[in-house]
Structure formats: C-alpha cells, structure tokens
Amino acid sequence: MIKEMDVQELKAKLDSDEKFYFIDCRELEEWQEGHIEGAALLPLSEFQQRYEAVLTEKDAKIVVQCRSGKRSMNACMFLLSQGYSDLNNVEGGILAWTQAGFPVI
C-alpha cells in the first residue's frame, strides 16, 4: 500500500531521527540545485537498475520524494510491484518542502 505523507510529517520524522529509507528520485542536476538533508539520491532513470542495492529491507518504511510528487509515486508503484510494503509518497515533493520554508542543502 502506498500512503501519502505531507512535508510537515516528513519534517517531524526527520527531526525525531526515526529510522526509514528516504529516497529522492529526481535526477542528479536537480539534486545538485538543492535537496533535503538525509535523503539518498536514486534517480528515477536509474531506479529499476539500482533500487535493490539501496533498499535492502522489503518491510522497512520507505519515503520517496521528487520535485512535485509524480515521479516519486511512480517509484512507489514500482516498489510495490517488487514486494515492498511500507511505502510513503511525499505530497508536493521538494516544491512543497521549500514552500513550507524548510531548508535544503
């Protein structure tokens, strides 16, 4: 099942040091322009080739974020088809994150 997570919930999870996989599925150029601290870059263009090396636990909480929420939903749908179960798509992506005034590095 894929759940939607808003940026306030993501910020609270990051601030509380909760353990989860946090994936940014934008492309490298977008990542270099600014990203959320704690995220791992796994571009959607390379996702199917590289996801198993990064996401080693199929039952762990996985949070996926992109620019606006569309690519991250595609990544979540792919992971669901591969047997991952605790999937969370960040609504509005990094656009919503920065609009809320949260920092990027």
- Is 25 annotated in the active site? no
pLDDT of amino acid 17: 87
All structural domains of the chain, each given as residue ranges with its CATH number in brackets, are 2-99 (3.40.250.10)
Determine the Cα–Cα distance for residues 74 and 41; give it in Å rounded to an integer.
Answer: 15
Q: Which residues are bridge partners to 88 per DSSP?
A: 3, 63
| Coarse DSSP helix, strand, coil percentages of the chain, rounded to the nearest 5 percent | 45, 20, 40
Nearest to 96 by CA among 27, 31, 5, 7: 7
The active-site residue, picked from 23, 36, 66, 94, is 66
Q: To which residue do tokens 């599925």 refer?
A: 25
pLDDT of amino acid 51: 97
pTM here?
A: 0.96
The pair phi, psi for residue 56, each rounded to 5°, is -90, -15
| 97 — pLDDT class (breaks 50, 70, 90) | very high
pLDDT of amino acid 5: 97
pLDDT tens for each residue of 15-73: 998 999 999 999 999 999 999 999 999 999 999 999 999 999 999 999 999 999 999 99
